[in-house]
Structure 1
Amino acid sequence: MPMLEFATDPLVLAALMAVAFLAGFIDAIAGGGGLLTLPALLTAGLPPHLVLGTNKLCATFGSATASFTFYRRKLFDPRQWRFALVATAIGAALGAGLTHLIPAQWLNQLLPLVVFACGLYLLFGRVPVTPRAHAAPIANGRQWPQGLMLGFYDGVAGPGTGAFWTVSNMLLYPLDLLRASGVARSMNFISNGMALAVFIVSGQVAWALGIGMGFALMIGAYLGARTAIQGGSKFIRPIFLVVVLVLSLRLAWQHWVGTA
């Protein structure tokens, strides 16, 4: 069984933990860490449903750490985002439930395409620039459709969700990049946790591998969040673009050129 095999292979586990550390660091700063962990797990040979469940387990570790770090620095106020929190949880549960109805063969073909398309969007999309307006009110009505759609996407697949949250936050609300990233990490934690619960119920989680990668993600996410907070928006912007460029090129080679 793949879960047991990878849990007892120290070389594979060490390699995937190293990938998870890097993904956690990247995700805490700019989002898109799933663009690295999903292909790594697929390359390691796990079935696609098990890949999604295991990825949610390790991603929950990282997003929880990053979210708590931003919260402690007062860069996220749950009271302002209560509608988005509820909507994200509902959307993620629905998305994860739908995933179990998709045949494994379709997921094997779909996931690399989703990751690649996400990389292209992040590569060519522009991060909006908004003025700092910390005291401005946050619109409640926009939080429902935003949370439902992004939560649903994270439940179905997930790569790039943090980056999509960051960009949409800056488009919809008076937030700078740093505070938009804080909201994104918190919403990502909610959708990861809710989707993980669905995968646990269906038995699609490789626990030993997911926990090992989860601890590596926690360390990377903690260092990434602190680095982002200390460096501010001017630091996040170039990291965001460089990460997207590298990951997009890697995925294009692996899933399109490499399999030709």
Structure 2
Amino acid sequence: MFEVTADLVALLIMAAFVAGFVDAIAGGGGLITVPALLLAGANPVEALATNKLQGSFGSGTAMISYARAGHVRLRDQAGMALVSLLAGAGGALVAHLIPAEVLRVIMPVVLVAVALFFAIKPGLTDLDRVQRMGPGVFTFTAVPLIAAYDGFFGPGTGSFFMIGFIMLAGYGVLKATAHTKLLNFASNLGSLAVFVFSGATWWAVGLVMALAQTAGAVLGARLAMRVGARLIKPLLVTTSTLMAARLLWQVWGV
């Protein structure tokens, strides 16, 4: 029934639950699930395709949780979500044109910068900030760039959306987290639609991981809404640092 043995399925379920919890708060769930899938015997394409399947459930669940609590109006984000979906699909389509080695060298530096930003930037609270970019400009500049990146690579997408919402759109930390989830969900769906045609998705494993992702996302979103920036900031710093370390480890081949 499953593409791997029962003991590996159990480990992947646990990895998906933790990833869903972390991703609902600060992003970076792929840091946990992609290496877990690779360790379970998936090749890189299978790991990315299966991760998009189960990750879509996690980001979708977190999105609904934040919307139900009133932290985001999904209808108001429909345009951004469509742009994110199309850009995510486009990123997945051109993935083979981007040398993965180049991204692996660049991304640790970017992720360390993200971690340092949230660690030392003063005044990052749940209160809204000064808006530096209007919704229209943000929709057609920052959103497609980040979503396309999600389609062809992925790690840190949630963190980059948060940076954009905070620094450009002027959102507070919790509001940025809530609005990030719909765009991340849309880019996941767009890239998943491309990966489906590759025939590389582990459907049985991906769907049971999706159930665990959903449970973790519900718990993570509830905790984030209860605690706010006091939880989101340190967890985002931690996940960004770990993603950078993971990518550096891949580059150096340790």
* TM-score past 0.5 threshold: yes
Q: Which residue in the other structure is 1:180 paired with?
A: 176
* Counterpart among 29, 54, 61 of residue 65 in structure 1: 61
Decide whether aligned partners of structure 1 residues 216 and 131 sit closer, same or farther in structure 2, where only a CA change above 3 A counts: closer
1:241 & 1:166 partners in 2: Cα distance?
12
Superposition deviation, residue 172 in structure 1: 1.0
CA contact (8 A) 1:93 1:155 kept: yes
Shift of 1:83: 2.9
Whether 1:74 and 2:66 are equivalent positions in the alignment is no
Number of equivalences: 249
CA distance in 1, matches of 2:229, 2:156: 19
User: How many Å apart are 1:81 and its aligned residue?
Assistant: 2.5
Which residue does 1:90 correspond to in 2? 86
Contact 2:105 2:248 (8 Å CA) reproduced: no
Equivalent position amino acid for 1:84 in 2: M
Q: 1:242 Cα deviation (Å)?
A: 2.6
Q: Encode CA deviations 1:214-242: one digit per residue, 9 max, x unaligned.
A: 11111111100000000111221122223
Rounded to whole Å, the distance in 2 between the matches of 1:111 and 1:75 is: 33
Paired AA for residue 174 in structure 1: G
The answer to whether the 8 Å contact 2:91/2:150 transfers is yes
Shift of 1:19: 1.2
Q: Give me the whole-angstrom Cα distance separating, in 1, the residues matched to 2:12 and 2:108.
A: 20
Amino acid at match of 2:148: F
Deviations 1:81-117 (A, max 9, x none): 2331121111111111112x459xx65x577657645
Deviates more, 1:159-168 or 1:45-54: 45-54
Kept in 2, the 8 Å contact 1:67–1:186? The answer is yes
Q: CA deviation at 1:125?
A: 3.4
The answer to whether the 8 Å contact 1:53/1:199 transfers is yes
Change (3 A) 1:95 1:215: same
Question: Per the alignment, do residues 215 and 133 of structure 1 end up closer, same or farther by CA in structure 2, a change over 3 Å counting?
Answer: same
Indicate the RMSD between aligned Cα atoms, in angstroms.
2.7
- Cα separation, 2, equivalents of 1:215 and 1:118: 31
Q: Which digits, 9 at most, give the CA deviation of each residue in 1:176-218, with x for residues without a partner?
A: 0000000111110111111111111232211011112111111
Q: Following the alignment from structure 1 to structure 2, what is the Cα–Cα distance between the partners of residues 94 and 256?
A: 26
Range with greater deviation from structure 2 (56-65 or 12-21): 12-21
How big is the shift at 1:34?
Answer: 1.3
- Whole-Å separation in 1 of the counterparts to 2:136 and 2:206: 35
Out of 213, 235, 240, the residue aligned to residue 239 of structure 1 is: 235
Rounded to whole Å, the distance in 2 between the matches of 1:115 and 1:206 is 27
Q: Match of 2:225? A: 229
Aligned to 1:126: 118
What is the alpha-carbon distance in structure 2 between the residues aligned to residue 70 and residue 161 of structure 1? 18
1:120 partner amino acid? V
Q: CA deviation at 1:17?
A: 1.4
Deviation at 1:123, TM superposition (A): 2.9
Aligned identity (percent) is: 33
Give the alignment's TM-score, normalised by structure 1: 0.84
Partner of 2:197: 201
Q: Secondary structure at the match of 1:185?
A: helix
CA distance in 2, matches of 1:116, 1:132: 29
Find the aligned partners of 1:152 and 1:250 in 2 and give their Cα distance.
Answer: 21
Matches within 5 A, 1:213-224: 213-224=209-220
In the alignment, is the contact (CA less than 8 A) between 2:105 and 2:251 conserved in 1? no
